[in-house]
Amino acid sequence: MELTAEDRSQLAGDQGEPVALAMRVLTRLGDVYGAERFIPITRAHVVGSSYQICGEAGIAIYERLVAQGARVRVTTTLDPGSIDFDHWRQFAMPEHVAQRQVRLKELLEAMGVVPTWNCTPYYFANVPVFNERVAWSESSAVVFVNSVIGARTNRLAAYVDLCAALTGKMPDFGLYRDEARRGTHLFLLEPGLEERFGMQLYPTLGYLVGQRVGDGVPVIEGLERTPSLDAFKLLGAAMASTGSVAMYHVVGHTPEAPTREAALGGGTPRATWRIDAEEIARAVEERISTAPPGAVDLVALGCPHASLDQLATYARLIAGRRVADSTRLWISTSFMVAELAERAGYLPVLRQAGAEIIVGTCVVNAPLAGWGFRVMATDAGKFAYYAPANLGVKILFLTTEECIEAAVTGQGRRRPA
């Protein structure tokens, strides 16, 4: 890589050992990927915020950095931790994990990181604009900002994200460059899918697309209405779980895809698939769901973290009703959204019905396997993908409305199509 005088100064340790260490990592990364130079970044989002991810090694690294005076140089937010800081006992999270997660919190805050503890930083506190260069991890957030906002970031690993935050720069490769953002695979949708499947279309479609394209850049054509922010979120999160998708285009609806030709960068797709109602229905029944209709132990909503609109929907659907004694209803969200939902009256309604709100962490990022749940109902493709391994559960993939019914009745059932 060609280094500027500023780059060389950072690498030599003139700005402190934490910056020098970060520059050594980033320079090696740039060499591996053939980058010619560094570019400035304006924001970062760090995934090494959970004790489940970092463990004792992460704490040791952060203690060393803090002792050496490390401070982030750009707005930097945090992914969920491993506990609900205020209610970890309520969810039977182990005390040792809670103690070590609190230590991680202290170290990250000492480096100047904004303690958001959420996987949807683009809702609050860390909102990039079109074409802004950022350095983010958290797969669902990366795919959202690249695709829906049109900001630019690669899908970074833990600690690489912090290196970018400490230096304020990243090697110029991958999705920072125009050529890597061109669509690689084309998906043509049958008309009427939105009308038939509603919000469930988006995580289901994302689940299928991610499995087929791996780390490609899919182009989706045929959506007749512009999806909501939550629909885009669910679409990308599922894609980034079953594949390594860091960017997608929806023709006519995302900023870099006014036409199919623009989305493909004037090129030809490597492969083209047609998606019809039968394939979506089959995916819901056979590929995402692993449990038959019947009794459910847990209904889990909020992956990625529930928005204010989603919490309003949950409250409307369950108002005046009560979660079954045999079932738990857990909803994951962020501190910021929870505070607004409290003031708006949504959380009181949910709590009155017996729902439990998990804040700052989530079902697949916390040590919850000890509950012994067997069947989990969810409307989230990402939860459906990760929960079997993390919690040892079978999945019943339902619509949001069906999830609320499952929570109230203790039985997961699909409504007739």
Answer yes or no: same fold for 182-286 and 289-412: no
Q: What is the dihedral of CA 327, 333, 336, 340, to 10 degrees?
A: -50
What pLDDT score was predicted for residue 416? 67
Within 168-282, residue ranges assigned H as helices are: 193-197, 201-213, 229-242, 260-263, 277-282
Nearest alpha-carbon partner for 154 in 162, 146, 163, 166: 146
CA distance 355 to 87: 14
Q: pLDDT tens string for the chain (417 positions)?
A: 999 999 999 999 999 999 999 999 999 999 999 999 999 999 999 999 999 999 999 999 999 999 999 999 999 999 999 999 999 999 999 999 999 999 999 999 999 999 999 999 999 999 999 999 999 999 999 999 999 999 999 999 999 999 999 999 999 999 999 999 999 999 999 999 999 999 999 999 999 999 999 999 999 999 999 999 999 999 999 999 999 999 999 999 999 999 999 999 999 999 999 999 999 999 999 999 999 999 999 999 999 999 999 999 999 999 999 999 999 999 999 999 999 999 999 999 999 999 999 999 999 999 998 999 999 999 999 999 999 999 999 999 999 999 999 999 999 998 765
CA distance 237 to 304: 7
Output the CA–CA distances (angstroms, integers) from residue 352 to 93, 355, 368, in the order listed: 23, 7, 23
User: Which strand ranges, in their side-by-side order, compose the sheet holding 328-333?
Assistant: 356-359, 328-333, 298-306, 375-378, 394-397
CA distance 112 to 168: 13
Burial class (CB within 10 angstroms; exposed 0-12, middle 13-18, buried 19+) of 343: exposed
CATH 3.30.2010 given to domain 5-178: no
Taking 3-state DSSP, the helix, strand and coil percentages for the chain, each rounded to the nearest 5, stand at 45, 15, 40
Cis before 304? omega within 30: yes
Q: What's the maximum distance between 2 C-alpha atoms anywhere in the chain? A: 67
The predicted-structure confidence for 325-335, as pLDDT tens digits, reads as follows 999 999 999 99
Q: What 3-state class would DSSP assign to 183? A: coil
User: Residue 23 is inside which H or E element, if any?
Assistant: helix 17-32
Domain boundaries, given as residue ranges, for the chain: 5-178, 182-286, 289-412
pTM: 0.96
Q: What are residue 264's DSSP bridge partners?
A: none
CA distance 137 to 81: 14
**Cα dihedral sign for 46, 307, 258, 283?**
positive
The predicted-structure confidence for 144-189, as pLDDT tens digits, reads as follows 999 999 999 999 999 999 999 999 999 999 999 999 999 999 999 9
First-to-last alpha carbon distance for the chain, in angstroms, is 57
What pLDDT score was predicted for residue 369? 87
Nearest alpha-carbon partner for 77 in 142, 141, 144, 126: 126
CA distance 392 to 389: 5
What pLDDT score was predicted for residue 415? 79
On whether the CB atoms of residues 338 and 357 are closer than 8 A, the answer is yes
The residue to which tokens 């182009």 are assigned: 219
Identity of the amino acid at 123? Y
Nearest alpha-carbon partner for 346 in 338, 354, 334, 356: 338
Output the CA–CA distances (angstroms, integers) from residue 265 to 9, 45, 123, 133, in the order listed: 38, 28, 29, 20
What pLDDT score was predicted for residue 417? 56
Among 1.10.3430, 1.20.1070, 3.40.50, 2.60.120, name the CATH number for the domain at 182-286. Answer: 3.40.50
On whether the CB atoms of residues 377 and 298 are closer than 8 A, the answer is yes
Fold of the domain built from segment(s) 289-412: Aconitase; domain 3 (3.30.499)
